[in-house]
């Protein structure tokens, strides 16, 4: 499945190649790409069980957010207004905490220097000071009052789910995610690249490690070596600037869908449907991980979200519906005839 758009010269440029096999369609002219895509579609029809599970997402020129950065400090780059607000509140609280810490430290130093046994051999005998007691009661109250407005407004902003432009149901499984685009009635599974489901049978023994087969799969899908444990074979694709509502649940145990750069984290509890929302501000590839201990392969359950332009999303959506809609449809069951 190939996603492409026109550049400023009018030539067709491949942006995203959905499927490990699709990497072969990057070169050549448009006609050749269409011919290769047709061949790949034929192959995927014949091997639907393998190609759907083994399909991957490759991309060029998009910022990667959420992977480790050498000497990195502070939060990930905020990709939504929610994340920006969260980071502002955190910095605001850090200022207050720092001021309190410095104030208490100064008081301790004053006590140590001025009121030690050598400097003050005869201590005072009073036990109460009304002004001091009123001060240390009122000042914390004022601090809490200052914290309440930004904290509560952000909490309500997170929890009041707006009308969705796109609704996606994310189901946590041991140990992969299933995504259902509710409005368009198709779904797909998303495995970490390096999971046995993303490798051939011959390379299955190289799973979950930086082995030659896994590194080759990462490269073929358009990811870098340092994105191992974060890159998935099928990313969630969404358009920039649209309100996305994600319904989160679990199929077996409690999982947690979290993208730090979006400022969202929601537990997926079996039998319950929780919701979160976000609106991505800019295009890019955003990484997250399951953030609730869910079993032995918990660390191999990443989340990859691709934010693209609305035009590119429409192209991807059309291709995704044609590839995944039939695969996700329930199979017809023939009931025996009593006659």
- Condensed to tens digits (0 to 9), the pLDDT of residues 153-210 reads 999 999 999 999 999 999 999 999 999 999 999 999 999 999 999 999 999 999 999 9
CATH topology assigned to domain 64-69+163-328: Immunoglobulin-like (2.60.40)
- Is 335 a residue whose pLDDT tops 70? no
Tell me the mean pLDDT in the region 268-279: 97
- Would you give the end-to-end CA distance of the chain in angstroms? 47
Distance from chain centroid for Cα 175: 16
- Model confidence at 325, pLDDT cuts 50, 70, 90, reads confident
- Model confidence at 327, pLDDT cuts 50, 70, 90, reads low
The total of other beta-carbon atoms located within 10 Å of residue 305's CB is 25
Closest CA to 1 of 26, 45, 37: 37
* Residue 213, CA distances (Å) to 17, 26, 192 in order: 19, 21, 14
pLDDT number for residue 222: 92
CB 199 within 8 A of CB 214: yes
Domain boundaries, the chain: 64-69+163-328, 81-120+127-159
pLDDT number for residue 56: 35
- Model confidence at 128, pLDDT cuts 50, 70, 90, reads confident
Report the alpha-carbon distance of residue 231 to residue 244 in Å, rounded: 21
- Is 17 a residue whose pLDDT tops 80? no
Q: Is the peptide bond before 175 cis (omega within 30 degrees of 0)?
A: yes
43: helix, strand or coil: helix
- Is 230 a residue whose pLDDT tops 60? yes
Closest CA to 190 of 308, 35, 302, 334: 302
Please give the mean pLDDT across all residues of the chain.
84
Tell me the mean pLDDT in the region 144-154: 96
- Condensed to tens digits (0 to 9), the pLDDT of residues 35-68 reads 444 444 444 433 333 333 333 344 557 899 999 8
Enumerate residues 6+ apart whose C-beta is below 8 A from 87: 75, 78, 263
- Is 263 a residue whose pLDDT tops 60? yes
Tell me the mean pLDDT in the region 329-335: 51
- Model confidence at 142, pLDDT cuts 50, 70, 90, reads very high
């Amino acid at each position: 499945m190939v996603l492409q758009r026109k550049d400023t010269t009018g030539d067709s440029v491949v942006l995203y190649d959905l499927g490990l096999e699709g990497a072969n369609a990057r070169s050549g002219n448009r006609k050749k790409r269409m011919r290769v895509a047709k061949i790949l579609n034929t192959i995927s029809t014949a091997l639907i069980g393998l190609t759907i599970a083994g399909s991957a997402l490759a991309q060029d020129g998009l910022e990667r957010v959420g992977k480790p950065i050498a000497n990195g400090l502070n939060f990930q780059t905020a990709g939504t207004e929610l994340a920006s607000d969260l980071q502002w509140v955190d910095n605001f609280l850090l200022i207050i905490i720092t001021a309190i810490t410095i104030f208490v430290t100064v008081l301790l130093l004053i006590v140590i220097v001025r009121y030690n046994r050598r400097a003050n051999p005869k201590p005072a005998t009073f036990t109460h000071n009304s002004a001091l007691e009123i001060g240390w009661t009122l000042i914390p109250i004022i601090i809490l009052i200052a914290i309440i407005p930004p904290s509560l407004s952000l909490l309500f902003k997170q929890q009041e789910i707006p009308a969705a432009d796109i609704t996606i149901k994310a189901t946590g499984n041991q140990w992969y995610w299933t995504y259902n685009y509710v409005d368009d009635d198709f779904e797909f599974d998303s495995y970490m690249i390096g999971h046995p489901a993303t490798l051939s049978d011959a390379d299955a023994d190289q799973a979950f490690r930086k082995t030659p087969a896994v590194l080759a799969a990462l490269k073929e899908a358009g990811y870098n070596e340092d994105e191992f444990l974060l890159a998935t074979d099928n990313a969630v694709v969404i358009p920039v600037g649209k309100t996305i509502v994600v319904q989160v649940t679990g199929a077996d145990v409690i999982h947690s869908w979290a993208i730090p750069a979006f400022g969202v984290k929601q537990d997926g509890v079996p039998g319950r449907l929780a919701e979160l929302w976000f609106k991505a501000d800019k295009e890019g590839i955003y990484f997250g991980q399951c953030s609730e201990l869910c079993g032995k392969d918990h660390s191999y359950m990443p989340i990859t979200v691709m934010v693209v332009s609305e035009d590119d999303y429409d192209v991807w959506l059309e291709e995704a519906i044609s590839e995944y809609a039939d695969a996700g449809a329930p199979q017809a069951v023939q009931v025996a005839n009593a006659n």
